[in-house]
């Protein structure tokens, strides 16, 4: 399972990914691939629950065996084990909170095994990130084709096989088939394709860690910069306001603090912000953004969805994602505030972000345990790990998937590599 496509050679992430490199068998790479496509396949029918979970369960005996061998030989990074501990406790807490049954217990233990395996270096993270990078660039290419066909021929090219979606994913079918409607069935007002993702926000959640790693991790090269351009195009063309803001922000951070020449360490330095070259680049980006806002209707619509309520008085994208959730948790107090109300949110027909959903379902205890994994990365990590952690914490107030099973696995893999890099660099430089 070698990725021989140009740009995805073995040296793409040399010096940027160092954990789990000894997992080189075909089964290791197959499991890494399953993890990479899990966030997409979680919405499709599978043998058990959904296609993503079905594939992970299929590989679980192999992963469990690798984990036991690692633990027996103590062949793991203890710093990564310490970092993942809050999430392990979070899974145990979810298992016993409200009610306890065999199904919840087995699921919690399975997730704990996966998280612990990631922390112990049982996953080939380099191959995993090459897979996610390839998927992200493929999404960018698909989006470009969708836009060309729509605006030249009035044709929407559908990449989502809607007949294979789970019943609970039916809210995305109309949008996937037309590119013109949201999950509420109302018109977007403009064309919003999302390649083979169900909606633009899903594409954003999948691609931003890739862009962080491409631009903000050590040993950058021209190939990574070229791929970063295509991944950024995917994020911006998705018309997700969060995706566009984060893509522009990551490039701004790169030009302001990094912007290393090829082969350099690519370490953030405050003095880079005051270099003449970087100041010119940042001013040029600002001018381009102003021109895009005034001249490009799609870009202007993205910005207005985030910040403007419009003449109708309707809520912004941010307000629409948080207002009802805030009202829901305002009535919590005492035991419900501490331990949550209920895990069953099926009757709640509005968006519950990762922050509000965790608070409502598991209370302050669950909230603290989950953020004790995400938040410390902002202060302890550098480069891609720092910025990925910061973005996750910020968007957790607007999107549910930061605390969902598959995207949480994805983020854990990226952050675990960053923790391992921190220890390795500390050992290297004393």
Question: What's the chain's length in residues?
Answer: 430
Residues 75 and 154 reside in one and the same domain:
no
| CB contact burial 363-383 (16+ within 10 A = b; e otherwise) | bebbbbbbbebbbebbeebbb
Residues 246 and 137 reside in one and the same domain:
yes
Q: Decide if 314 is inside a domain.
A: no
pLDDT (0 to 100) of residue 208: 95
Residues 341 and 284 reside in one and the same domain:
no
Domain C-terminal end among 308, 342, 362: 308
pTM of the model: 0.87
Radius of gyration of the chain (CA): 21
- 397 CB contacts (<8 Å, ≥6 apart)? 322, 353, 354, 355, 356
Domain range for 167:
128-308
Residues 138 and 276 reside in one and the same domain:
yes
The residues facing 187 across adjacent strands are 181
Q: Decide if 6 is inside a domain.
A: no
Token pair, residue 143, equals 């989006």
Residues 155 and 111 reside in one and the same domain:
no
Low-confidence ranges of the chain (pLDDT < 50): 6, 262-263, 309-314, 429-430
Residues 102 and 167 reside in one and the same domain:
no
CA distance 200 to 390: 21
Token pair, residue 240, equals 């997700």
Residues 118 and 159 reside in one and the same domain:
no
The answer to whether 165 and 204 have CB atoms below 8 angstroms apart is no
The burial class, CB within 10 Å (0-12 / 13-18 / 19+), for 353 is: buried
Residues 118 and 182 reside in one and the same domain:
no
Residue with tokens 């612990």: 116
pLDDT (0 to 100) of residue 411: 95
Residues 296 and 338 reside in one and the same domain:
no
Residues 101 and 138 reside in one and the same domain:
no
Q: Decide if 48 is inside a domain.
A: yes
Q: Decide if 15 is inside a domain.
A: no
Q: Decide if 38 is inside a domain.
A: yes
pLDDT (0 to 100) of residue 134: 95
Residues 102 and 134 reside in one and the same domain:
no
* Inter-CA distances, 365 with 97, 173, 236, 359, Å: 10, 36, 36, 8
DSSP letters for 283-341: HHHHHHHHHHHHH-HHHHHHHHHHH--TTTTPPPHHHHHHHHHHHHHHT--HHHHHH-S
pLDDT (0 to 100) of residue 313: 44
Q: Decide if 221 is inside a domain.
A: yes
Residues 242 and 356 reside in one and the same domain:
no
Q: Decide if 281 is inside a domain.
A: yes
Domain count, the chain: 2
Q: Decide if 381 is inside a domain.
A: yes
């Amino acid at each position: 399972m070698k990725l021989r496509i140009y740009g995805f050679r073995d040296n793409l992430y040399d010096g940027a990914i160092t954990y789990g490199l000894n997992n080189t068998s075909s089964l290791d790479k197959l499991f890494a691939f399953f993890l990479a496509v899990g966030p997409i396949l979680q919405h499709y029918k599978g043998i058990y629950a959904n296609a993503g979970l079905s594939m992970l369960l299929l590989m679980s005996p192999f992963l469990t065996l690798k984990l036991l061998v690692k633990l027996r030989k103590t062949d793991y990074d203890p710093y990564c084990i310490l970092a993942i501990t809050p999430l392990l406790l979070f899974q145990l807490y979810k298992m016993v909170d409200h009610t306890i049954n065999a199904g919840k217990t087995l699921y919690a233990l399975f997730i704990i095994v996966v998280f612990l395996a990631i922390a112990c270096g049982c996953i080939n993270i380099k191959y995993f990130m090459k897979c996610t990078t390839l998927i992200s660039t493929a999404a960018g290419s698909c989006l470009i084709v969708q836009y060309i066909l729509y605006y030249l021929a009035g044709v929407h090219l559908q990449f989502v096989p809607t007949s294979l979606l789970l019943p609970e994913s039916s809210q995305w079918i109309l949008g996937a088939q037309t590119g013109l409607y949201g999950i509420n069935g109302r018109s977007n007002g403009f064309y919003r394709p999302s390649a083979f993702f169900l909606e633009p926000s899903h594409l954003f959640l999948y691609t931003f860690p890739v862009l962080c790693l491409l631009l903000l991790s050590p040993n950058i090269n021209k190939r990574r910069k070229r791929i970063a351009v295509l991944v950024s195009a995917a994020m911006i063309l998705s018309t997700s306001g969060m995706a566009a803001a984060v893509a522009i922000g990551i490039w701004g951070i790169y030009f302001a603090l990094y912007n290393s020449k090829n082969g350099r360490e690519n370490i953030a330095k405050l003095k880079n912000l005051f270099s003449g070259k970087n100041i010119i680049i940042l001013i040029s980006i600002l001018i381009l953004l102003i021109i895009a806002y005034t001249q490009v209707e799609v870009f202007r619509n993205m910005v207005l969805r985030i910040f403007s309520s419009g003449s109708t008085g309707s809520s912004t994208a941010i307000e629409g994602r948080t207002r009802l959730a805030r009202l829901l948790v305002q009535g919590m107090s005492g035991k419900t505030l501490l331990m949550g109300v209920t895990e069953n949110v099926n009757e709640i027909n509005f968006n519950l972000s990762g922050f509000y959903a965790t608070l409502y379902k598991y209370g302050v205890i669950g909230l603290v345990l989950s953020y004790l994994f995400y938040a410390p990365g902002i202060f302890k990590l550098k480069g891609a790990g720092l910025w990925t952690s910061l973005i996750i914490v910020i968007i957790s107030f607007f999107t549910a998937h930061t605390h969902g099973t598959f995207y949480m696995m994805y983020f854990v893999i990226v952050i675990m590599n960053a923790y391992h890099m921190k220890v390795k660099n500390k050992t290297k430089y004393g």
